[in-house]
């Protein structure tokens, strides 16, 4: 029996997260925009590309050349954000055998952990490409979540974190209507997560930084939204799923090291169940 529904930290019903790929120097400007607006995000890096001498251009934007972030710059540039994996060499994992998949993920992770100094548990599929075999391989390696490039245009949480579909790419024509819809959701509409992804070099290529500044300004610095990196959303959901409930549903035990928030079904009261504590509803 469950006498409650879930809330985000602080009793909020809305959360916002971002995910940006490839670890290029334009991330620095994007993170400045995030910081100005109190936002947090996840940056998915390729361990073999962490070198200031490496300059890339992308098939879609042949005129744009952007250098990669150097390993030595990672702690400073991504301070307060999450660094996650994106494949050591940005290979399409569908094309790899099991040993090569392990190599691509594990060596990337090892490199990123050496640079950041913390366990790197998140991942974003290079080219957004994956299949069931790749997903199971990642699960076996202890990867917590992996982001795809499939837009949901919705605000639900993923049923399967290893195929975590974002809400929308920042250049999708739906982004502003979705932003308005998200901001307009009433407080009693339940758990809503807005998840935006992209590449910061796209702002350089399209010269449309003001578009992202506008989106971030609209969504940022609001008390009713929880701003979190991908791994924080994942960890919080794990804490919720780990709650232990009595048979009558009135005793809730939080065995995790994170305070969690619930909405009491009957009274609509917001309740915090502190880390490691037992609460009677
Ligand atoms: Zn990529």
Alpha carbons 6 and 248: distance in angstroms, whole number: 18
State in Å: Cα 18 to ligand 1 middle.
Answer: 15
pLDDT in tens, 114-171: 999 999 999 999 999 999 999 999 999 999 999 999 999 999 999 999 999 999 999 9
State in Å: Cα 47 to ligand 1 middle.
Answer: 12
Question: What pLDDT sits at residue 160?
Answer: 98
Question: What pLDDT sits at residue 66?
Answer: 87
pLDDT in tens, 10-63: 999 999 999 999 999 999 999 999 999 999 999 999 999 999 888 887 778 888
Question: What pLDDT sits at residue 57?
Answer: 78
State in Å: Cα 90 to ligand 1 middle.
Answer: 6
State in Å: Cα 279 to ligand 1 middle.
Answer: 44
Q: At what angle do helices 209-219 and 27-36 cross, to 10 degrees?
A: 30
State in Å: Cα 69 to ligand 1 middle.
Answer: 14
State in Å: Cα 73 to ligand 1 middle.
Answer: 19
State in Å: Cα 22 to ligand 1 middle.
Answer: 5
Pairing of strands 244-245, 251-253: antiparallel
State in Å: Cα 118 to ligand 1 middle.
Answer: 22
Question: What pLDDT sits at residue 158?
Answer: 97
Q: At what angle do helices 98-116 and 132-140 cross, to 10 degrees?
A: 50
State in Å: Cα 237 to ligand 1 middle.
Answer: 26
State in Å: Cα 213 to ligand 1 middle.
Answer: 22
**What stretches of 68-208 show up as alpha helix (H) in DSSP?**
74-77, 98-116, 132-140, 175-184, 201-206
Question: What pLDDT sits at residue 63?
Answer: 83
Question: What pLDDT sits at residue 188?
Answer: 80
State in Å: Cα 191 to ligand 1 middle.
Answer: 29
State in Å: Cα 198 to ligand 1 middle.
Answer: 9
State in Å: Cα 176 to ligand 1 middle.
Answer: 24
State in Å: Cα 127 to ligand 1 middle.
Answer: 6
φ, ψ at 240 (rounded to 5°): -65, -45
pLDDT in tens, 176-235: 999 999 999 998 878 899 999 999 999 999 999 999 999 999 999 999 999 999 999 999
State in Å: Cα 220 to ligand 1 middle.
Answer: 26
pLDDT in tens, 238-254: 999 999 999 998 999 99
Question: What pLDDT sits at residue 1?
Answer: 64
Question: What pLDDT sits at residue 61?
Answer: 81
State in Å: Cα 255 to ligand 1 middle.
Answer: 37
pTM: 0.96
Residue 107: helix, strand or coil by DSSP? Answer: helix
**DSSP sequence for 15-41:** EEEEEEES-BTTHHHHHHHHHHTT--E
């Amino acid at each position: 029996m469950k006498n409650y529904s879930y809330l985000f930290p602080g009793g909020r019903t809305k959360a916002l997260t971002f995910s940006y790929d490839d670890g290029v120097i334009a991330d620095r400007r994007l993170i400045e925009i995030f910081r100005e607006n109190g936002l947090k995000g996840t940056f998915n890096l390729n361990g073999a590309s962490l070198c200031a001498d490496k300059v890339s251009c992308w098939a879609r934007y042949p005129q744009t050349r952007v250098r990669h972030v150097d390993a030595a710059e990672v702690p400073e540039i991504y301070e307060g954000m999450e660094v996650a994996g994106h494949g050591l060499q940005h290979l399409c994992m569908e094309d790899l055998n099991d040993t090569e998949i392990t190599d691509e993920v594990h060596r990337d992770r090892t490199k990123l952990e050496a640079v950041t100094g913390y366990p790197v548990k998140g991942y974003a599929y290079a080219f957004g490409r994956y299949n069931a075999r790749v997903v199971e391989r990642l699960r076996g390696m202890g990867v917590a979540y992996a982001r795809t490039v499939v837009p949901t245009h919705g605000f639900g949480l993923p049923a399967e974190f290893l195929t975590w579909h974002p809400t929308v790419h920042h250049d999708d024509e739906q982004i502003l209507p979705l932003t308005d819809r998200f901001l307009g959701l009433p407080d009693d509409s339940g758990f809503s997560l807005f998840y935006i992804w992209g590449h910061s070099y796209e702002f350089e290529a399209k010269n449309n930084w003001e578009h992202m500044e506008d989106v971030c300004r609209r969504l940022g610095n609001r008390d009713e939204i929880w701003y979190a990196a991908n791994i924080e959303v994942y960890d919080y959901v794990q804490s919720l799923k780990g709650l232990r409930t009595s048979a009558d549903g009135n005793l809730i035990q939080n065995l995790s090291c994170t305070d969690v928030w619930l909405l009491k079904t009957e009274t609509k009261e917001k309740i915090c169940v502190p880390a490691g504590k037992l609460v009677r509803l």
